[in-house]
Structure 1
């Protein structure tokens, strides 16, 4: 459930060794056995001759210990040191190196002679661990390039060499692993792209660090999965219903969405609200747009605002929407609304005059970004959820998309705390950040969801969950997880995820 930085992992290890008294050598042995187990399973398919690439730090020591376990299991193992072993290496690496000698494992140093890659069935990457910073250099870089070129399956120890363990940034060069065995807790860089794309399958291997230490040391980043939804957030990911429930039990969502050219955004968002389980959903539109949409979704109530002649949202007074929001359990604002002169002031008026929980998406986020004084807007008494994609997040924070993507966790957490909102930073591995500082990294979804309309569905779904009484943190986390899972089910029914369209998700919610 917990996801840690390199520094947090160091503290957890230090606390386990120094305060609890658990021997460091046992942590290393447990880690090595986890790596060896993964290699033994792979060897059943690819073959039993493996090469271990070893760096000078403790990551290399883990690899050396794994090599010893593999020899004991009957595999043919060789070691290549990235650098000539000397007194600069860690004491753990020196100890494990001596063990490897005693076990009779053949070793060499990179550069002393060419490596016969064709002899091996697989590679263990124990070059650079979580403490490594910046691009691999010299012989480390040469080894990484060569091993990637070998086309052999690579199992990485703790993290693929060349990934920033905290941000997921991929340096050049970087190992392309088929499997990463990480220790005790997942590292942030393994769940954030582009690092996640280099890690392959990720297995978290317990090594003897008590899980409760993460809570005691205030680790505040979590995997978003059924366990964290249930145990940390206390929500039912199955969205069970009370036997005696009725439509009034499950809340009434108001959606202000859509325009003449983007009515589909409102349709998708409104249907997602219904599929999300709310008892009632009302879709507010400029008055002239209501008639063509009547009956498209029989379960929806349509509300024409601004009079029958109103063609777009610029003709709808903010107070007209605020009046419709009275008594509603959530308001979703923004999908497909379009932009108009003075829309930021219009949004501010809605912000100030409504009291129900609020979800701002799409055009509403761009209105917010253009409000120069947003930092001075009053904190609402009821929750606010913002759902930006990286481009919208960049406009909100005054950053480029590249800067947004550089460290999505830190940015989302900072923005949520500063503005006292729940922020959903969408994209591969969506990030949900709460004002408390808690951050959740989603584990569902697929590239097929990179298509117009999926964000509209997410906004409606989160609004629906808010209307059913979930907190903003619960609704955003459950909404993001459920949305991604629906996308996964929809993609599984097609020959290619590329053919996925947003509407496919609705039947899977």
Structure 2
């Protein structure tokens, strides 16, 4: 009864302060313990270190604004600890933007997908890649209704997927709107044999989940190219990859991401509230940016294009994933602060906001007068 009273106060614009963790919330998983109810706070002061459950699952809604009080205890270097994603984890890996550079310096990305009726998905990803700094971006369509060029961004080079010179690419992002045809399976198999960095999303993940040979190629490709693939599943796609149900994934999102990373020898980006990024070497981070404005079609395609662009710019896979999810969420936060969301925010609005954030946060000082 007390928990319900406090929650009602929080919902009616009153202030509710939780100490360490809102009562009834699992601080490890971000789930409500048992059948609830739990306290929904507007603010949480948590002690010693940030708790994963305050930043992922429903924990973000129950914790409100979180502040960490270390109380004099240093947790740096704790073995196996998850980290809160922040620029300090990836900024040093971003490429310099020297004057003596050219489009080849920042890599060539291929975005592959777009079965008939789904050609918008790779276009969204490719536009995002362009605005995230890739030097050149190709799009390979599987469908028969692909446009000849992209009018808003004629810089994009559009092709039939079968005519794309995959071996000439610095990175490949595959799966958005790809479908599950035999042709799709064939091109995913070819992509996994490349020595360039690879990101798999959406339908490419579904193909891997139901094809043992493709799944084996994902794990083996990490050894062949010397770097892991990046997998970007939402919870249902993650459940298919793990052979379980969505509820099992959501019960412990950190554990699910770690299992994906270990099973596929890949960097796993488990999307959702508090996206979890896990590397096969044991590193894991929970992302604190983003909001309900991202709950609309196409935002995952934008994220895939962003991470793909960073891979093409030779950012290591784990750091590329961290940077992509952080900036993707921060763009949504920035747009919402301007009144452009959360209701009605569209996927296509994210990439221009990402471009501004990247330049302001990481490149503006070097171009200051």
Gaps in structure 1 of 5+ consecutive residues: 1-141, 306-315
CA contact (8 A) 1:220 1:437 kept: no
Residue 167 of structure 1 corresponds to which residue in structure 2?
Answer: 29
Please state whether the residue corresponding to 1:293 is helix, strand or coil: coil
Distance 1:501 1:209, change over 3 A: same
Residue 483 of structure 1 corresponds to which residue in structure 2?
Answer: 328
Aligned counterparts, 1:159-198, within 5 A: 159-171=21-33, 172-198=36-62
Please state whether the residue corresponding to 1:367 is helix, strand or coil: helix
Greater RCO, 1 or 2 (C-alpha within 8 Å, sep 6+)? 2
Residue 425 of structure 1 corresponds to which residue in structure 2?
Answer: 270
Residue 222 of structure 1 corresponds to which residue in structure 2?
Answer: 83
Please state whether the residue corresponding to 1:282 is helix, strand or coil: strand
Residue 117 of structure 1 corresponds to which residue in structure 2?
Answer: none
The equivalent position to 2:68 in structure 1, one of 200, 204, 210, is 204
Residue 337 of structure 1 corresponds to which residue in structure 2?
Answer: 178
Distance 1:164 1:242, change over 3 A: same
Distance 1:157 1:286, change over 3 A: closer
CA RMSD of aligned residues (A): 2.2
Distance 1:300 1:331, change over 3 A: same
The equivalent position to 1:282 in structure 2, one of 124, 138, 151, is 138
Length, aligned pairs only: 344
Residue 106 of structure 1 corresponds to which residue in structure 2?
Answer: none
Please state whether the residue corresponding to 2:168 is helix, strand or coil: coil
Residue 449 of structure 1 corresponds to which residue in structure 2?
Answer: 294
**In the aligned structure 2, how far is the partner of 1:355 from the partner of 1:440?**
27
Distance 1:155 1:351, change over 3 A: same
**In the aligned structure 2, how far is the partner of 1:243 from the partner of 1:150?**
55
Q: CA deviation at 1:376?
A: 3.3
Please state whether the residue corresponding to 2:324 is helix, strand or coil: helix
Q: CA deviation at 1:385?
A: 0.6
Q: CA deviation at 1:143?
A: 4.0
Q: Deviations over 1:247-289 (max 9, x none)?
A: 1110010111213311111111111111110111111124854
Please state whether the residue corresponding to 1:284 is helix, strand or coil: strand
The equivalent position to 2:234 in structure 1, one of 386, 389, 399, is 389
Q: CA deviation at 1:146?
A: 4.8
Residue 360 of structure 1 corresponds to which residue in structure 2?
Answer: 200
Q: CA deviation at 1:390?
A: 1.0
Please state whether the residue corresponding to 2:32 is helix, strand or coil: coil
| TM-score between both structures, scaled by the size of structure 1 | 0.64
CA contact (8 A) 1:325 1:356 kept: no
Distance 1:374 1:280, change over 3 A: closer
- Please tell me whether Structure 1 or Structure 2 has the larger radius of gyration of its CA atoms: 1
Residue 104 of structure 1 corresponds to which residue in structure 2?
Answer: none
CA contact (8 A) 2:119 2:141 kept: no
| TM-score between both structures, scaled by the size of structure 2 | 0.86
Gaps in structure 2 of 5+ consecutive residues: 355-369
Distance 1:265 1:149, change over 3 A: closer
1:405 equivalenced with 2:250 (yes/no) = yes
CA contact (8 A) 1:345 1:371 kept: no
Residue 244 of structure 1 corresponds to which residue in structure 2?
Answer: 100
Residue 348 of structure 1 corresponds to which residue in structure 2?
Answer: 189
Distance 1:168 1:288, change over 3 A: closer
Please state whether the residue corresponding to 1:186 is helix, strand or coil: coil
CA contact (8 A) 1:255 1:284 kept: yes
